[in-house]
Amino acid sequence: MRISALLTVCILLTQSLLAQDSADTGLDPVTVTASITPLQASKTGRNIVVLRGEQFYQLPVHSIDELLRYIPGVEMQARGPMGSQSDLVIRGGTFQQVLVILDGIRLNDPLTGHFSSYIPIAPSEIDRIEVLKGASSAIYGTEAVGGVIHIITKSFANQRKQRTTAQIAVGEYGLFNASAGGTFTTKKVL
């Protein structure tokens, strides 16, 4: 009798543990890298990862190549200081199969295929990064066999907005980093 009462109490207590907060999941409304015309990410049928600025503001990064290391499925191999000669690999391909685009401009070196991430753009100036994993050579050419990384800055984002930002970071070994900026756009640029 005691065992059945104890078993009943344990079962009743564990039933309340099965309830879980429902995660607030939402799809990004528009993606630009998967097709020629903008589509909803859920309707492309492609593996797309979109990182928004709010997601990587808290990361300890100071350059684009440091930021790209946090994207799942993307491997960054830097052979020079500050990303002067970097190789990006998506899903185990080669560096010649990944196309990197910044606001619609191709950044890959046409002779060697390497990506020079030594670009004077702070991660705080980036609106979002769209990563298309998989073949996209029909749209972007032979450089996009492995995938496309599209970096979109705040000044070229498709939104009308006004924003002022200020950030200060202090750390060990004399680290001090401060940045301030603002954007004001009145119409679509892209």
Exposed / middle / buried, residue 141 (Cβ in 10 Å: 0-12, 13-18, 19+): exposed
- Greatest distance between any 2 Cα atoms in the chain: 81
What pLDDT is recorded for position 96? Answer: 78
What pLDDT is recorded for position 41? Answer: 67
The residue ranges of every structural domain in the chain are 27-159
Predicted confidence (pLDDT) at residue 113 exceeds the cutoff of 80: no
Q: How far apart are CA 149 and CA 160, in angstroms?
A: 24
Worst-scoring range by mean pLDDT, 3-12, 30-39, 111-120? 30-39
pLDDT band at 26 (very low <50, low <70, confident <90, very high): low
The DSSP result for 132-183, as a single string, is: EES--HHHH-GGGSSEEEEEEEGGGSSS-EEEEEEEEEE-STT-EEEEEEEE
> Which run of H or of E encompasses 76?
strand 74-78
Predicted confidence (pLDDT) at residue 70 exceeds the cutoff of 80: yes
Q: How far apart are CA 93 and CA 164, in angstroms?
A: 39
What pLDDT is recorded for position 91? Answer: 84
Worst-scoring range by mean pLDDT, 26-40, 66-80, 103-117? 26-40
- The superfamily (CATH) of domain 27-159 is TonB-dependent receptor, plug domain (2.170.130.10)
Predicted confidence (pLDDT) at residue 174 exceeds the cutoff of 80: yes
Chain-centroid distance of CA 16 in Å reads 37
| Bridge partners, 67 (sequence order) | none
CB-based burial, 58-78: b 16+ in 10 Å, e otherwise: eeebbbbbbbbeebeebbbeb
What pLDDT is recorded for position 53? Answer: 79
> Per this entry, what is the length of the chain?
190
pTM of the model: 0.66
Predicted confidence (pLDDT) at residue 109 exceeds the cutoff of 70: yes
What pLDDT is recorded for position 29? Answer: 60
Identify whether the C-beta of residue 143 lies closer than 8 Å to the C-beta of residue 150.
no
